[in-house]
């Protein structure tokens, strides 16, 4: 009889421990278990204890910006690299409570997106860059990584739903594999909108202009920092209408479209960098609006 009551006591203590443990926990729920390369997903983190501090979520070495929503909850968006292999990948979450650090792992499954290919047969010289051009392109890539994308504004600038920059037809979607002379050389890192030279281009949301510069591939490029580690870029412009440091509203004109940089015809190329990863702009815009403004 005594043995039984002891067992009951142990069981009760164990249950209380579980309940208390669950009470002071951090929980992450994924919007979807699956994601494709170049795609976007989201998660919600809920905490049930005000002593929980310094929550940090990381995916593939990238810190994910967390947006606060009511009821002790946070939302974060995960972007997956286009070049990632299929498989199961960890999402690492850490937090502090009473000066103690805790960690937990969740997993997301990356599947291969069904991206179309465009096969091109061109003169080899057009694909292979000369040394000077290669150096310029590499220097610009580093500059963007270090000075712009690696240095996002902490303040949230976006204030409404994200728009598409133009309502015109998409002439080339994100992710198209470019196969030059039978070899995959690159993929389309953004989305192209039909735009005759001189079309007014507006930002997809409120933000701060971080760059107005002529780049090797993008020609005249504007990069807007929307906060929450979300950047949008507008390439091949013919004219800039804003300056670096300007806070731009959604209805303001950033510049005029054109055909500067490496293009065969005038159009607007829109790119999105989300938590340090280049993602499909249309997927991002649609998912962000659905999750945040539902």
State the residue number with the nearest CB to Zn ion. 269
- Cα–Cα distances in Å, from 156 out to 199, 234, 243? 28, 20, 20
Stretch that binds Zn ion, among 7-15, 80-88, 90-98, 264-272 (CB under 5 A): 264-272
Of the pair 81, 94, the CB lying nearest Zn ion is at 81
Of the pair 78, 195, the CB lying nearest Zn ion is at 195
Of the pair 226, 269, the CB lying nearest Zn ion is at 269
* Least distance in angstroms from the C-beta of 188 to Zn ion: 6
- Using DSSP's 3-state secondary structure scheme, residue 115 falls into coil
* Least distance in angstroms from the C-beta of 190 to Zn ion: 5
The owner of tokens 């300007």 is 246
Measure the CA–CA gap between 210 and 231, rounded to whole angstroms: 9
Measure the CA–CA gap between 192 and 267, rounded to whole angstroms: 6
**Count of residues engaged in binding Zn ion, rule: CB under 5 A:** 3
Stretch that binds Zn ion, among 26-34, 35-43, 190-198, 273-281 (CB under 5 A): 190-198
* Least distance in angstroms from the C-beta of 272 to Zn ion: 12
Secondary structure (DSSP) of 39-92: -EEEEEEEE--TTEEEEEEEETTEEEP-EEETTTEEEEEEE--TTPPSEEEEEE
- Using DSSP's 3-state secondary structure scheme, residue 137 falls into helix
192 part of the interface to Zn ion, by CB under 5 A: yes
Stretch that binds Zn ion, among 44-52, 93-101, 153-161, 182-190 (CB under 5 A): 182-190
Of the pair 175, 203, the CB lying nearest Zn ion is at 175
Stretch that binds Zn ion, among 51-59, 142-150, 200-208, 261-269 (CB under 5 A): 261-269
Q: Say how many C-beta atoms besides its own lie within 10 A of residue 138's C-beta.
A: 12
Of the pair 202, 269, the CB lying nearest Zn ion is at 269
**Binding letters toward Zn ion, positions 266-285, x by CB under 5 A:** ---x----------------
Measure the CA–CA gap between 144 and 282, rounded to whole angstroms: 22
Q: Under a CB-based contact definition with an 8 Å cutoff, are residues 270 and 214 in contact?
A: no
Measure the CA–CA gap between 155 and 9, rounded to whole angstroms: 51
Stretch that binds Zn ion, among 3-11, 41-49, 70-78, 184-192 (CB under 5 A): 184-192
Q: Under a CB-based contact definition with an 8 Å cutoff, are residues 25 and 63 in contact?
A: no
* Least distance in angstroms from the C-beta of 278 to Zn ion: 12
Tokens of 24: 């002071």
Of the pair 202, 206, the CB lying nearest Zn ion is at 202
Q: What part of residues 91-120 is at the interface with Zn ion (CB under 5 A)?
A: none
With 0-12 / 13-18 / 19 or more C-beta atoms within 10 angstroms meaning exposed / middle / buried, residue 96 is middle
Stretch that binds Zn ion, among 161-169, 176-184, 189-197, 277-285 (CB under 5 A): 189-197
225 part of the interface to Zn ion, by CB under 5 A: no
Measure the CA–CA gap between 26 and 48, rounded to whole angstroms: 7
Residues lying near Zn ion in the complex (CB under 5 A) are found at 190, 192, 269
């Amino acid at each position: 009889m005594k043995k039984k009551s002891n067992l009951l006591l142990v069981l009760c203590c164990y249950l209380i421990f579980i309940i208390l443990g669950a009470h002071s926990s951090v929980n992450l729920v994924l919007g979807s278990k699956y994601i494709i390369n170049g795609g976007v997903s989201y998660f919600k983190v809920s905490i049930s204890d005000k002593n929980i501090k310094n929550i940090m979520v990381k995916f593939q070495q990238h810190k994910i910006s967390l947006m606060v929503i009511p009821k002790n909850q946070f939302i974060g968006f995960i972007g997956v690299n286009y070049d990632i292999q299929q498989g199961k990948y960890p999402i690492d979450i850490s937090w502090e409570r009473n000066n103690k650090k805790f960690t937990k792992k969740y997993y997301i499954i990356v599947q291969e997106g069904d991206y179309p290919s465009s096969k091109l047969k061109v003169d080899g010289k057009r694909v292979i860059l000369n040394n000077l051009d290669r150096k310029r392109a590499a220097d610009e890539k580093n500059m963007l990584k270090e000075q712009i994308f690696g240095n996002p504004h902490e303040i949230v600038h976006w204030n409404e739903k994200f728009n598409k920059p133009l309502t015109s037809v998409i002439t080339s979607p994100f992710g198209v594999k470019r196969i030059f002379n039978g070899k995959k050389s690159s993929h389309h890192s953004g989305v192209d909108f039909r735009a005759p030279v001189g079309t007014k281009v507006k930002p997809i949301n409120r933000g701060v202009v971080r760059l107005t510069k002529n780049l090797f591939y993008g020609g005249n490029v504007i990069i807007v920092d929307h906060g929450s580690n979300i950047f949008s870029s507008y390439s091949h412009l013919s004219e800039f209408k804003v300056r670096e440091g300007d806070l731009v509203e959604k209805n303001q004109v950033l510049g005029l479209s054109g055909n500067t940089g490496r293009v065969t015809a005038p159009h607007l190329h829109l790119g999105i960098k989300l938590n340090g990863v280049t993602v499909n702009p249309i997927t991002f815009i649609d998912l962000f609006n659905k999750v945040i403004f539902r």
